[in-house]
Amino acid sequence: MEIKLLYITAAIVVLRLVAGWGLKKYKKGFAKKFFSELKEWMNAGLWAVIIALFVMSFIIQAFKIPSGSMEDTLLIGDHLFVNKFIYGIKVPFGGSRRILEFTEPGRGDLIVFKYPEDTRVDFIKRVIAKGGEEIEIVDKQVYINGEKLDETGYVVHKDPNIYPPAEYLPPQRRYRDNFGPYSVEEGEYFVMGDNRDYSSDSRMWGPLRKNKIRGKALFIYWPPSRIGLIH
């Protein structure tokens, strides 16, 4: 979406230049009025696109749920808004540097991030463990620093089978039900889907670096029957 807006901005700038050139070339009658109105319209359109780019880059991002990995909290096709500034605004061309960090991602937060194995794709998962914590999964039950984590209200298990961490199993099952113990490093987050048995997450591809995080999920705005805050 942001790339499309950039193309639209470029097109408006070109048309505005054409309108300005036409206004100078034709000084009288219909042509003058036409190019004058076209230039005003392009100015308004340019500002609208610039504002939209600013909002989408630093404040709010629209996101559509592409898979069932967050069921039953989020369903396939849900449209939601993501708060992009709560964890800090990324400095353009500043690498992982952020400014105005209001808070850090906390356990239980639903975050949207760039998929580590393909940064063109956005994922959404729940933060389960943070830097400095040790996570272990024993027969589907999560433990943080040796204490059982209460995940009542969001986690679902749709496969009754429990798999050992065996090398002969495919990656999506090898560490699904039994994992660790694993110490999460500072600046990293261990994220998992609520649909625990059918989610590609940190159990498969490792912890998430903070610089990959795009923002925190706020609320569902579509479909109408699903409108509401996200927990």
Q: Residue 33 has what pLDDT?
A: 58
My answer on whether 52 and 71 are in the same domain is no
CB 159 within 8 A of CB 197: yes
Distance in angstroms (rounded) separating the CA atoms of residues 110 and 213: 11
My answer on whether 43 and 78 are in the same domain is no
My answer on whether 207 and 133 are in the same domain is yes
Q: Residue 6 has what pLDDT?
A: 40
Per-residue pLDDT tens listing for the chain (231 residues) = 444 444 444 454 445 554 454 445 555 554 555 556 555 665 555 555 555 555 555 578 889 999 999 999 999 999 999 998 888 766 665 556 666 677 899 999 999 999 988 878 899 999 999 999 999 999 999 999 999 999 999 999 999 999 998 888 888 899 999 999 999 999 999 999 999 999 999 999 999 999 899 999 999 999 999 999 998
Distance in angstroms (rounded) separating the CA atoms of residues 129 and 119: 22
My answer on whether 153 and 96 are in the same domain is yes
Looking at residue 110, which CATH number applies to its domain?
2.10.109.10
Q: Residue 166 has what pLDDT?
A: 87
Structure tokens that stand for 45 in this block:
């359109």
Q: Specify whether the backbone of 189 is left (phi greater than 0), alpha (psi in -120 to 50) or beta.
A: beta
The residues, ordered by sequence, that sit 6+ positions from 141 with a Cβ below 8 Å of its Cβ are 148, 149
My answer on whether 51 and 142 are in the same domain is no
> In the chain, how many H helices and how many E strands?
4, 14
Q: Residue 42 has what pLDDT?
A: 58
Q: Residue 2 has what pLDDT?
A: 46
Would residue 69 show up in a list of annotated catalytic residues for this protein?
A: yes
Which of 39, 90, 125, 140 is flagged as catalytic? Answer: 125
Domain count for the chain, please give it: 2
The domain boundary residue, chosen from 58, 79, 102: 58
The residues, ordered by sequence, that sit 6+ positions from 16 with a Cβ below 8 Å of its Cβ are 39, 42, 43, 46
**How many Cα neighbours within 13 Å face the side chain of 189?**
24
For residue 48, the enclosing domain spans 2-58
Unique residue bearing structure tokens 């807006």:
5
Q: Residue 12 has what pLDDT?
A: 47
Q: Residue 57 has what pLDDT?
A: 55
Q: Residue 55 has what pLDDT?
A: 52
Length of the chain: 231
Which of 69, 130, 212, 216 is flagged as catalytic? Answer: 69
Residue 59, SS3 per DSSP = coil
Q: Residue 78 has what pLDDT?
A: 96
Unique residue bearing structure tokens 């199993």:
169
Would residue 210 show up in a list of annotated catalytic residues for this protein?
A: no
Specify the pTM.
0.77
Q: Residue 199 has what pLDDT?
A: 96
Q: Residue 59 has what pLDDT?
A: 73
CA dihedral sign of residues 158, 159, 164, 168: negative
The domain boundary residue, chosen from 58, 73, 88: 58
